[in-house]
Structure 1
Amino acid sequence: MKVEIGPLNNYSSSKELIDAINNWILYYNNTRIQAKLNGHSPVEYRQMAA
């Protein structure tokens, strides 16, 4: 995560940093495609298994 959102001093306020972290978490869980999950995001894979 540190590499993907960049150095902490790039953000001018704590709210901006919190927003960046929240956006990264949403991307990581909902959009990011995993080869080991047959090309699905983690959320899609869990929905298919249910």
Structure 2
Amino acid sequence: MRARMNNPAFVLPDAMKGIGAIFKAVDQGGISHGVTNLFNRLNAAIKEPAGTSCT
């Protein structure tokens, strides 16, 4: 399946600075690696086409 739009992080000016700041804040916030790993798996499952693995 083809994306309907390009990744906004690459389209919007200065978006990568904001995204980097969010990642830095999450990393410094003390969230366990297990929780971030769970979030990453759920996020990958949303992005993956039906019937494919997200591992």
Report the TM-score range of the alignment, normalised by the length of the smaller protein. 0.3 to 0.5
Whose helix fraction is larger, Structure 1's or Structure 2's?
A: 1
TM-score by length of 2: 0.34
TM-score by length of 1: 0.36
